[in-house]
Amino acid sequence: MTNGANDVLDVTIDGTVARLTITRPDKRNAVSDTLMDALGAFFANPPEDVRIVILSGEGEHFSAGLDLSEHVARDAAQTMRHSRNWHRIMDMIQFGGLPVISVLKGAVIGGGLELAAATHIRIADPSTFYQLPEGRRGIFVGGGASVRIGKILGADRMIEMMLTGRKYTAEDGLRLGLSHYVCDSAAEAEAKANELAAKVADNAQLSNYIMIQALARIEDMAKADGLFTESLCAALTQTSDDAQEGLNAFLEKRAPNFK
C-alpha cells in the first residue's frame, strides 16, 4: 500500500514494514518544516500493523540539512519555539516505539545528520559523508545534535567538527559510531536494511518497545537509578506472554512466534 503523505515524503506500507522516503532530490532532500510535519504526522499515528520503519532519501543524498532557501527571519523567541518543535518530532522518531532504520548515502549534513541520529540503526553506503557546518555559518545546531550527536561523538570531537566544518567519510562515520554498518554499494545498503528490518520486526513488540524507550534514558541516569529502571524493564518483559513463547521456542528448538 502506498500513501504519498505529501510532495516531500512518500510513505509505503509493505506488510509490517513502513518505508518512508524523503522526496526532494532536487534539493538534496533538504529538511524543511513541511518535511518535519510529515514525519511528525506519521510517527504520531503509524498504521497499526507496522512494526518497523525504513527511512531513506530519493536520489543521491539522504539529506543535506536545513533548507536555507526556505529560511524565515525569526526573533529569539520564535527561533526557540521552532527548535523545540524539531526536538518534539525527533523525540517522536526516537521514542515513538517503532524501531527505525535509516539508509544513508551522499550528504548527511546538519539537520540531515540530526534526523539520522534519531534513528536506531544506521546503514551507510560508500558515498556517505557527514558534516555539521552550522558553526561556519554563524549559527548553532537546533534539531537535537548537541545531545544525540554529542553522545555519539563526545563533546570534544563535536566541538572540533563544528568549529572547522570538518567532513567525515563513510568509513570515518562507522569508526565514530555515526553509522552501524557500511555496505559496498547503495544496493547492498538497501538489502541490508531489508534484512535487518525483517529480523527486528520478528522480535517481540514489547521488548523492542522497552529497548527503544529505556536504554537511551538509562544512559542519562545515575547508576542506581539506571539499575532500578533495568529491573523494572526486566520485570515487564520477562513476565510477558512473549517471554514464555521465547522460552518454549528455545526448548523446542524452533523459531519463536511472537504476537
Check if the beta carbon of residue 101 is closer than 8 Å to that of residue 55.
yes
Return the exposure string of 140-176: e unless at least 16 CB atoms fall within 10 Å of the residue's CB, then b: ebbbbbbebbbebbeeeebeebbeeeeebebebbbeb
Q: Facing residues of 55 across strands?
A: 20, 102
* Burial tier of 120 (Cβ tally within 10 Å: 0-12, 13-18, 19+): buried
pLDDT of res. 3: 53
How far is the C-alpha of 35 from the C-alpha of 45, rounded, in Å?
Answer: 16
Lookup: cell for 33: 518544516
pLDDT at 47 over 60: yes
Statement: residue 251 has pLDDT above 90: no
CATH 3.90.226.10 fits 2-201, yes or no: yes
Cell triple for 117: 541520529
The amino acid at 164? T
Q: Among this protein's residues, is 230 annotated catalytic? A: no
Residue among 58, 60, 134, 230 flagged as catalytic: 134
- What residues contact 40, with CB distance under 8 A and at least 6 apart? 88, 89, 92
Architecture of the 205-251 domain = Orthogonal Bundle (1.10)
Contacts 24+ apart (CB under 8 A), 133-140: 133/65, 133/109, 133/165, 134/110, 134/162, 135/162, 135/163, 135/164, 135/165, 136/164, 136/165
**pLDDT digits 0-9 by tens, 94-142:** 999 999 999 999 999 999 999 999 999 999 999 999 999 988 888 999 9
Contact criterion met (CB below 8 Å) for 23 and 30: no
Please check the confidence at residue 179 and state whether its pLDDT lies above 80: yes
What are the residue boundaries of the structural domains of the chain, listed by start?
Answer: 2-201, 205-251
Instruction: Summarize the confidence of residues 78-104 as an average pLDDT.
Output: 96
pLDDT at res. 203: 94
Among candidate residues 114, 160, 190, 219, the one labeled active-site is: 114
pLDDT in tens, 2-42: 554 578 999 999 999 999 999 999 999 999 999 999 999 99
Instruction: Give pTM, 2 decimals.
Output: 0.94
Per-residue pLDDT tens digits for 194-211: 999 999 999 999 999 999
Burial class (CB in 10 A: 0-12, 13-18, 19+), 187: exposed
What's the rounded mean pLDDT across residues 246-254? Answer: 84
114 is annotated as an active-site residue: yes
Strand partners, 35: none
Round the average pLDDT of the chain to a whole number and report it. 94
3-state secondary structure of 13: strand
Give 256's pLDDT tier (boundaries 50, 70, 90).
confident
